[in-house]
Every structure is written in C-alpha cells, then in structure tokens.
Amino acid sequence: MPFKSDHALSLITRAQKLGRLAHAYLITGPRAANCEGFAAQMMSLVTAAHHDNLDDWSQEGAIILRPESKSRRITIGKAGDEVGTVRYLERMIHRTTGPGGYKLGVIVDADRMNEQAQNAFLKTLEEPPPRTLLLLLTPQPGQLLPTIRSRVIQISLMPPSGVRQFSDHEEKLLAVLEKLTAGNSGSISAAFALKADFQAILEELHDDIKDEQEEEFEKEQDHYKQTTDGTWLKQREEQITAQIEASYLQERDALMDLLLAWMGDVARHQVGAENLDLPEQARATAVLAQRWEPGETMRRLQTLRKLESYLHTNVNESLALEVGFIQAFGR
C-alpha cells in the first residue's frame, strides 16, 4: 500500500521508538514521489542530524551508490577501493560511521545493479555491522532478486497531492480518454477505436523501452568486449530481454492504474466525493458522470479491474484488451 511521505516517516518514527527499526528498507515510488528526498529525511529522522539531500549526507559519512558507469549499471567492482561499486560499499560500510553512530548506505536506482552485484550485496544485507541503515531506492522493485526483496522492508511512496507528474505515454492515454466525452461513446465502434489507441500506446511504450535497453547494451559491449568472453555476452542478452519485458509490464500496469483512476473519478463525481485522483481531468470525468447511471459506471469500473487482473496472467494481451474494452466501453 503506497503512503504519503509524512505518513511513512511517522511509521518509521514509531518503529524506532519501539526498538523495531529494520536495518534495510526498499523505498519505491514514481518520480514525483521523490524517493531520494525521502531517504534524506529518513536518515535525518533516525540519526537526529539534518540534511535535505543525499549529496550533503555523503559529506556526513553516508555511502551513496549511483549508476554512474558508462553502461549506467551498478557493478560489483574488482576491489574495495573502486568507488561507486558494491565492493566499495561493503568495504566502507565497515569503516565509516555517520551521525548517531549509524553506518549509512544508500543505493539509488538499485534496479541498476547487475545480478552479480546483487548477489554480492546480499552478504552485507544478511550480515550488516551493528547500527547499520541500508536504503535501496528504485521505481522498479521487480528488477531486484527475490532474495533481496525478502530481506528488506518495502516502503511504497505516493506523490504529494497536486504534484502528480505524467509520463509521455500517460499524457497520450489521457488524451485518448478525452474521446470518451464525445457523443458516440458507448458504441462498439467507439470501443474498438479506444482499444486501438490504447494498444498503439502500449506498442510505442515497448519500442521505447527496447530502444533504451539496447542502446545501453551497445555501450556495455564497447566497454567490456575487451575484458570478457562470449559467455558474458549471451547472459547479458538474456538479462536485457528480461529487463525489457519487466519494464514494459510495470509501465503497462501504470497505464492501467491511470485508466482505473479516470473511471474511479467518474464514480466519485456521482457520489459527490470532494477529492479526485485526477483533478486536472475533472471536467471530462464530470461529463461522463452526468451521462452514465451510477450502476453503469460501477459495471464499467469492475470490468476494467477484471481486465487488469487478467493481464497479470498468461492471457493473450491483445485479445484481453479487445474483450475488456468492448465490455467496458461498448455499451
């Protein structure tokens, strides 16, 4: 369940007072949730020292890892003195102490750790020094090994009210949903058109993710081809394929969440709710709230929830979308 940052911090405060503060947390959320700022606040709360950003915390003894290599990956590193690697964090977390006697480590974009780095990090995660606080930040927790996720407490953050930021693909979906306010909405042809627009966004999304991952892979090849053999290349190709699919599924889920929020706002208008998930789209959702009966809106909403559930199975994506959109918008 996502929390606003102030609520999440209050839970951390309570855990510390009860002596139940964990040594490792996985902090997730969209860009607008500002996971880095939350991590800085959390360290301030735990240690009683105050810094607003991770750069300042690095001056206080916190070990901050970021994906800064040519390949934009966090690697295991060859030795403990190779800054920005997991080996460096392992070495420095034992040697450096921050405010309050805490040993502080933060991995920004932890999903950028390759598998070797993640396996190496497990040792520190399983056997940390006393008074250690490790924070892993990522918008894609599914990219981390299950063995890592099982050893941390996850904190999912939501953006503050009024500052939700949409990706380019989410903006395109919002534009598509505006078509629902047209007079011909509710017909089979309109449902097919809506489904086609939605699937076009998904295809563009997949292509963008594929292009980004393959571009990074090319950089890795240039960087490592002189020092590794063909085995590494084959394994990395398999990892890239898995990462493309995982990233796509996560972004598709975000688009479905947006679609559900839109339909949920239609229902909220109908019951007189004050707070909307998408206040900037209030005019359009209000039009549909006037046009549809409340029972009809709930049927559409339930259909979309079923579609979201089906998409988490091995069902054919295109077929599931076609059936779901016809049932939700074709009558």
Cα-based angle 52, 131, 51 (whole degrees, multiple of 5): 10
Q: Encoding tokens for residue 168?
A: 């380019």
Which pTM value belongs to this model? 0.60
Q: What is the distance between the alpha carbons of residues 110 and 81, in angstroms, rounded to a whole number?
A: 20
By CB atoms closer than 10 A (0-12, 13-18, 19+), residue 178 is: middle
* For residues 183-199, average pLDDT: 84
pLDDT digits (tens, 9 = 90+) for 120-178: 999 999 999 999 999 999 987 888 999 999 999 999 888 776 556 788 999 999 999 98
H-type alpha helices, 18-114: 35-47, 54-58, 86-95
Instruction: Find the range with the poorest average confidence among 15-29, 131-145, 204-218.
Output: 204-218
Determine the Cα–Cα distance for residues 106 and 63; give it in Å rounded to an integer: 6
Residue 70 has a pLDDT of: 47
Domains in the chain: ranges and CATH: 5-156 (3.40.50.300), 168-329 (no CATH)
Report yes or no: 165 and 304 within 8 Å, Cβ to Cβ.
no
Please state the rounded mean pLDDT for residues 324-329: 92
Using the structure block, give the residue that is written with the tokens 């996502």: 2
Q: What is the pLDDT of residue 251?
A: 86
Chain segment 41-89, per-residue pLDDT in tens: 999 999 999 999 999 999 999 999 988 654 567 888 887 778 889 999 9
Q: What is the pLDDT of residue 33?
A: 83
When pLDDT is averaged across residues 242-270 and rounded to a whole number, the result is 87
pLDDT tens-digit map of 65-78: 988 654 567 888 88
DSSP 118-158: HHHHHHHHHSPPTTEEEEEEES-GGGS-HHHHTTSEEEEB-
pLDDT at 223 over 60: no
pLDDT of 278 above 90 = no
CA separation for the pair 23, 17 (Å, rounded): 15
The β-bridge partners of 153 are 25
Query: Rounded to an integer, what distance in angstroms lies between the CA atom of residue 301 and that of residue 308?
Result: 11
Mean pLDDT of the chain: 87
State mean pLDDT over 21-31.
90
| pLDDT above 70 as % of the chain | 91
Q: Pick 292 or 82 by higher pLDDT.
A: 292
Q: From residue 67, how far is each of 37, 70, 198, 212 by CA, in Å?
A: 18, 9, 33, 15
Q: Which long-range contacts (CB under 8 A, 24 or more apart) does 276-285 make?
A: 278/164, 278/174, 279/162, 281/174, 281/177, 284/177, 284/178, 284/180, 284/181
Phi, psi of 160 (to 5 degrees): -60, 155
Q: Is the pLDDT of residue 186 over 70?
A: no
Give the contacts of 29 (CB within 8 A, at least 6 positions apart): 2, 35, 139, 156, 157, 158, 159
Using 50, 70 and 90 to split pLDDT, how confident is the model at 1?
A: low
